[in-house]
Amino acid sequence: MNVLVVGGAGYIGSHCVRQLVAAGHRPVVLDNLVFGHRGAVGPEIPFYEADLGDPEAVGRILREESIELVMHFAAFAYVGESVTKPRKYYENNFVATLRLLEAMLDNGVNKFVFSSTCATFGEPERLPIVESLPQAPINPYGQTKLDVENCLKAFAQAYGLSFAAFRYFNAAGAAEDGSIGEDHDPETHLIPLVIDAATGRRENIKIFGTDYDTPDGTCLRDYVHVDDLARAHIAAFEKLEAPGVGLFYNLGTGRPNSVREIIEAVEAVTGLKVPVVEDARRPGDPPALYADSSKAQAELGWEIKFTEVREIIATAWRWHKANPDGFGD
């Protein structure tokens, strides 16, 4: 299938592009390179430097490349920033997505795969998180993603759009061959920061909160390999053949790891000591988030290849060792 990957030069998008090729599809990338990296996309992949909120550019690409399905990974995803700059988040994550959907409908493209987030659940009333739990985001980032989810439901009913929305837990790791990986600026995610502390690129890792009601006092998260996420997206394609289909899936391994466990795992994988500083809680961090992904496994046949966090960290380590400066742009 001809697939437009919006945000295909970003972390999850670029891994998805490679999985699409491996599965026999033809990806076309659209990215404005604000956060994406040109070097994350192979030179053989059609690449358009454009903005998803530009309906003329998007419409032209949809027609010229005979696009049948759009995958949308382009979003701002800094939770703290979303609280201080909500306009930026509503503009990019919601309004621009609406423009993208309009361009699709105007050009007869009605299959859509959307990157959503466990942040749509806020502080869940039960764990693990199943799809049917109430969604109550506690920051504008999660709210903009939930707003798009609701928009998609209405568009499916009214316009026959078929979509799958995936709520990721903590995306982690890198391509197994070490060729592409995680490179955020600024980096806020735990695993790359701990690796930088191990190698001495950062002085230490600060543990945000050691007094949570969890077994070792630090937050529990569900780290899921980026290629496992990508494979779930592709597995949903055939379900989107009929018009008006709306699907939601939580994607995580279901195995929570604490911040301390991640630090220990990085030490075990790298053989390096990680200097640790115990710090105050980071505002807005729920104590524990982990997924029940049995729906994706049952309905999509999703198989989690990387079930152990050490295997995930080993792929991240391979990428960081080979590319200490990331993509170098």
Question: Site residues (CB under 6 A) for ligand UFG?
Answer: 77, 79, 117-119, 141, 170, 188-190, 193, 205-208, 219, 221, 259, 282, 285, 289
Nearest approach in angstroms of CB 189 to ligand UFG is 4
**Residue 227 burial (10 A CB sphere; 0-12, 13-18, 19+):** buried
Nearer to ligand UFG, 110 or 116 (CB): 116
For residue 70, which of 5, 158, 146 has the smallest C-alpha distance? 5
For residue 233, which of 13, 79, 78 has the smallest C-alpha distance? 13
Q: How many CB atoms lie within 10 A of CB 68?
A: 18
b (16+ CB within 10 A) / e for 99-127 = bbbebbbebebbbbbbbbbbbbbbebeeb
Q: How far is the C-alpha of 11 from the C-alpha of 251, rounded, in Å?
A: 16
Nearest approach in angstroms of CB 285 to ligand UFG is 4
Nearest approach in angstroms of CB 15 to ligand UFG is 15
Contact 212, 219 (CB under 8 A): yes
Q: What is the DSSP string of 177-206?
A: TSSS----SS---HHHHHHHHHHTSSS-EE
Nearest approach in angstroms of CB 181 to ligand UFG is 15
Nearer to ligand UFG, 26 or 281 (CB): 281
Question: Strand pairing of 223-225 and 276-279?
Answer: unpaired
Determine if residue 112 is left, alpha or beta; phi over 0 gives left, psi from -120 to 50 gives alpha, anything else beta: beta
Nearer to ligand UFG, 135 or 170 (CB): 170
Nearest approach in angstroms of CB 192 to ligand UFG is 8
Q: Which residue is nearest to ligand UFG (CB)?
A: 219
**Residues carrying an active site annotation:** 141
Strand partners, 117: 168
The angle subtended at Cα 149 by Cα 64 and Cα 82, nearest 5°, is 100
Nearer to ligand UFG, 24 or 186 (CB): 186
Nearer to ligand UFG, 14 or 117 (CB): 117
